[in-house]
Amino acid sequence: MLKIYDTELNSRLMLGTSQYPSLAILSEAVKASKVDIVTVSLRRESGKNRSGQSFWSLIKELNVRVLPNTAGCHTVKEAVTTAAMAREIFGTDWIKLEVIANEDTLQPDVYALAEAAKILCSDGFKVFPYCTEDLSVAEKLLQVGCEILMPWGAPIGSGRGLNNIYGLKTLRAHFPDIPLVVDAGIGLPSHAAAAIELGYDMVLLNTAVARAGDPVMMAQAFANAVEAGRLCYLAKPIEKRDMAAPSTPVFGKAYLV
C-alpha cells in the first residue's frame, strides 16, 4: 500500500481535470482510471460546461481526493496566495506547488519553488512540489519540509515521455525512501509504465488522457500501465546485456553426424 502524507492510496496514478471535451467524459475517464487523487487548478479556463458549481459537484460525486495546484503562477507571492485561496475553497492543506520560470517549456523556477515551499510548509501545508530531477533542488525541498518530490518527465503537455532517464534513476537511487512522482510530459501508457518500472511511486498526467481521441479508453490504458509497471518493478526484471544469451540451454544438445 502506498502512503503519502499519512494517507493510504490504492492507485499509482493521479489525473488532471482540465481540457476534457465535457464534464461527462471527465467523469467517465476518472472512473476508468481508478485514481484516488485528481488535481484541480484555481485558474481553470471558464467556458460552457467547464466550471462553476457543476464542476465542483461532479468532483464531489466522484469520491476522489482533490489536490489543488498553483498552475500559472510565476512568483513566490503569487503561488503562496493561490495556495491559501485553494485551502479555503477546497478545505485541504494539500497543494501541488508550481512556480513557472519559462513560458515555452513551463520549466519550474527552482529558486522560487524552494522559497515558496518553505513558506507553505511552515504554514502547515502538505506540499507536492513540481520540480526538476536536480539533486540539489530535491535536497532543498526536503529540507524545508516537503515529504514528496514530483520531477518532470518532459515539458508539460509535450507527450515526450521520460527525457532524462539517467537523472530520474539517480534521483530514485539517492532518495530511496521518499515518495517520487513523475509529473508532466507523459504521452503514452508505456511512458507511465517505464516510470513505475524505474521505482517511481506514482505518475501524474492530464493532457495524454484529456486530449486523446477516446479519453475514457486512454484512462483505462494508463490504469493498466501503472499496474503492469509496478508488477515489473517488484518482479525484478533482468539486466540489459551487450551480447546475446541463449534462452535454450545448449548442454546436452544432440548433434547429427
- Please state the residue numbers annotated as binding site for 1-deoxy-D-xylulose 5-phosphate: 157, 184-185, 206-207
Read off the amino acid at residue 166: Y
Does residue 96 carry a catalytic annotation? yes
Cα-Cα-Cα-Cα dihedral of 104, 105, 110, 114, to 10°?
Answer: 90
Give the separation between CA 182 and CA 192, rounded to whole angstroms: 8
Sequence-separated contacts (24+) of 165-171 with Cβ below 8 Å: 165/194, 165/198, 167/133, 167/134, 168/133, 168/195, 168/198, 168/200, 169/198, 170/133, 170/135, 171/133, 171/135, 171/138
Rounded Cα gap, residues 255 and 139, in angstroms: 61
Give the DSSP per-residue string, 171-202: HHHH-TTS-BEEES---SHHHHHHHHHTT-SE
Written as nine digits, the cell of 195 is 516510470
Q: What DSSP string describes 41-105?
A: ETTPPP-TTTSSHHHHHHHHHTT-EEEEE-TT--SHHHHHHHHHHHHHHH--SEEEE--B--TTT
Smallest CA-to-CA distance from 15 within 88, 54, 90, 65 is with: 65
Name the catalytic one among 34, 96, 118, 126: 96
Give how far Cα 83 sits from Cα of 41, 163, 207, Å. Answer: 10, 29, 23
Q: What positions carry a catalytic annotation?
A: 96
